[in-house]
Chains A and B, each alone.
Chain A
Amino acid sequence: MKETNPFGHIFISHRAIASIAHQAALESYGVVGLAAKSLAEGLAQVLVKDPTLGVEVDYSGDGITIELYIIVEYGTRIKMVASSVADNVRYQVEKSIGLPVHSVNVHVRGLRISNLD
């Protein structure tokens, strides 16, 4: 996505934004993993460690839209975790690149049941 200033243009790739969002999501409480969108993609990820797995970034006229595909820890309040992640990702992305995020959509792809003996 492109931003113009008096000296020229600044191009920020979708991948760069996705990396920030990815990191912020993993630091959010309740998120224990990020998931692939589809099986085919999942297989591809096994071969190539993708630093932006589970994150999709789109830039349209309205601004930046981020889709997150997360795995949540079983036993937490999922709705709260999802909204915290969205909040966290939005804040980190806006803080890092200085442009407003139009929306962050969270897709809970699964739950992980931890072995708590």
Chain B
Amino acid sequence: MTVEPNFPSTLDGRELAHSGALDGQGLKALMEAGMTWLKANQQLVNSLNVFPVPDGDTGTNMLLTMQAAYNEIVHSNEKNVGKMAHSIAHGALMGARGNSGVILSQLWRGFARALDNLDKMDGPTLINALIESKNTAYKGVVRPVEGTILTVANDIAVFTERFREQTLSLNWLEKIVGEANRSVENTPNLLPILKQAGVVDSGGKGLAILLEGMLRYLKGLSLAPSAAMVQPMNTMIMEEAMEQIEPGQDYEVIVDFQPSHPLNLDKFYADLSEIGTSIQVGEGDGMYRMHIHVPLEKRYEPIDYTMSLGTITKVAMENLIAQLESRKTQPEPEIQFTPVEPGKIAVITVSPGKGLSRIFASLGVSAIVEGGQTMNPSIEEILNAFENLPTDKIIILPNNKNIILAAQNAANVSVKNVMVIPTKTIPQGLNAMLRHDPDGDLENIAEEMKEALNEVETGEITTATRSVEINGVKVDQGEVIALLNGKLIASGHRLDQACLDLLAEAKTEDRERITLFYGQNITDEEVNQVAEKIKEVYPSHEIEIHEGSQPHYQMIIAIE
């Protein structure tokens, strides 16, 4: 049930501006103007909405409230300003939408109350009406929150007081709108959540826009949406433009320029729409800033076009896709270890890759010794890993037969109670971790872990560094080779075939789960290919893939 205003409708704004006092029809015209301008800026206000609930509907709600109020008076010829105001307030009350709508209806209610049934509104009356409007609005809530539309209403009322001795004129509204905008800009300093979100208060902005619409009408300025596209440069929301890159848009072009003739914004905007998307136009200090997203082949067109309109002062061009890519690469998060509780069992393990370290940490390992390229940590390195832990119950998982000796030496040297579980491979180490219980008795837990070693078969896939013949398997340098529990059992040219050979040798058909840990020397495509092949041969087995980031071994495979 909304009526679209035909704009301009009732009176000529310029005529109204010089009359010195406002009557019913004048108020109607101003109200219409404010509403039209709010409509043009509706999305902007919506986008600022973060308080109290970030549901992005402040602009829409305020507009609907204004439209409901307008519907009440659309056919009215009432000349009495007080009566007109009451009708508007009544319409606003009945049609108030959302939080902001209710507050707006309260502002109108107070305003109308002050006008009572006066014929015309002069200067002092306006001032009183603004004060009354603010008071009524504040009464509607127990804990008024500053940095919202209430603050802006308050600042306007306080500001207007200075004109009390003067005659009502257009100059007043000019200054009031300035104050409203200043107050809006200040709202993030009063309401932390606005500052956090990097926006001004949406309701306050909506109110300022209503007043601005009235001013524009009185000055004979356009209230059309294309005029609304022009914003103060410091409000151009660039960040949001980044989030919505449409397909086909490769470059972001920003041009600062001074037009040689007054800019026809409608045409400007329309012409730009032919070239690209996400168009924003900002204005400040006689200069315009145009922002646009364009496809590769049109990347210079915005510049050429703008050059035809005036003098270009600055051009910025940025590759959108590259920007998006660099945003995606996040720094790797630190590995989180479970903190050791004093007196409980702490497990330390040797790991060759970051991915595997992460997995161990997630299973409850308290410290990791980086095996590095050679998987040969010194006794000292192993000792350092656990000497400072707040417990004397330590379990070491070496995960490599070369390290078992070093680990045992470290155990002997330390004054703590250290047990070494002779894990020879990563899968054995992982399986042992599954038996871990920090609260348990050290000997018992160590026993359980040792039992776990036999439950898992370990496969390792790597590249042969020299030609050999072992166990009846002939290997040429550079071939892919497969080791089962440390024994060479197959070689070949294809990675996936080597994996399948390994699984067959390990009698995987009798098992249930296959876990693949892929290392640094393998591509994502290769990993997927191997996984697909394995799924084909063993469709009813559980298959898991993890990033191990180990060097040397393309794949470490655990078969359970």
Contact = CB atoms under 8 A, between A and B. Distances in A.
Contact of B135 (A31, A76, A81, A116): A116
Interface residues of A, number: 21
Interface stretch (A10-18, A84-92, A97-105): A84-92
Nearest to A81: B102
A19 interface: no
B105 interface: yes
A73 B139 CA distance: 8
Interface in B94-121: 94, 96-99, 101-103, 105-106, 109-110, 113
A58 interface: no
Nearest to B95: A77
A14 B215 CA distance: 52
Interface in B53-67: 53, 55
B103 A29 contact: yes
Contacts of B94: 77
Contacts of B139: 32, 73, 114, 116
Interface in B117-171: 132, 135-136, 139-143, 145
A26 B102 contact: no
Contacts of A28: 52, 99, 141
B52 A77 contact: no
Contacts of A87: 53, 55
Contacts of A114: 136, 139
A16 B151 CA distance: 31
Contact of B102 (A29, A32, A33, A92): A29
Given A73-B140, A75-B106, A76-B105, A27 B97 contact: no
Given A76-B96, A80-B96, A116-B135, A88 B143 contact: no
Given A29-B140, A88-B53, A80 B145 contact: no
A99 B319 CA distance: 41
A82 B97 CA distance: 12
Given A27-B52, A76-B105, A32 B142 contact: yes
A113 to B, nearest CB: 10
A109 B97 CA distance: 22
A81 B106 CA distance: 12
Contacts of A91: 52-53
Given A80-B98, A88-B53, A91-B53, A27 B143 contact: yes
B143 A26 contact: yes
Contact of B136 (A31, A80, A92, A116): A116
B93 interface: yes
B141 A30 contact: yes
Contacts of B132: 116
Contact of A30 (B97, B102, B113): B102
Contacts of B143: 26-27
Nearest to B203: A29
Contact of A77 (B96, B136, B142, B145): B96
Interface residues of B, number: 26
Given A28-B52, A29-B140, A84-B98, A77 B135 contact: no
Given A26-B142, A28-B141, A31-B142, A84 B136 contact: no
A30 B104 CA distance: 12
Contacts of B52: 27-28, 88, 91-92
A30 B103 CA distance: 8
Contacts of A30: 102, 140-141
A27 B145 contact: yes
A27 B140 CA distance: 10
B145 to A, nearest CB: 6
A61 to B, nearest CB: 27
A75 B113 CA distance: 12
A84 B101 CA distance: 10
A64 B81 CA distance: 50
B102 A84 contact: yes
A115 to B, nearest CB: 9
A80 B102 contact: yes
B141 A80 contact: no
A45 B93 CA distance: 33
A32 B136 CA distance: 13
A93 to B, nearest CB: 12
A116 B133 CA distance: 11
Interface in B75-99: 93-94, 96-99
B101 A80 contact: yes
Contact of A75 (B53, B109, B141): B109
B539 to A, nearest CB: 32
Contacts of A31: 141-142
B136 A29 contact: no
B103 A77 contact: no
Nearest to A114: B139
A112 to B, nearest CB: 9
Interface in A21-55: 26-33
A69 B329 CA distance: 50
A76 B102 CA distance: 6
B340 to A, nearest CB: 15
Interface in B34-78: 52-53, 55
Contacts of B142: 26-27, 31-33
Contacts of B101: 77, 80
B403 to A, nearest CB: 31
Given A28-B99, A30-B102, A116-B113, A76 B140 contact: yes
Nearest to A90: B53
Contacts of A33: 142
Nearest to B142: A26
10 contacts: A31-B141, A31-B142, A32-B140, A75-B106, A75-B109, A76-B96, A76-B105, A77-B93, A84-B102, A88-B53
Which 8 A-B pairs rank lowest in CB-CB distance, beginning with the nearest?
Answer: A77-B96, A91-B53, A73-B140, A114-B139, A84-B99, A26-B142, A29-B141, A80-B96
Given A29-B102, A75-B106, A91-B52, 11 more contacts: A26-B143, A30-B102, A73-B140, A75-B109, A75-B136, A76-B93, A87-B53, A87-B55, A92-B52, A114-B136, A114-B139
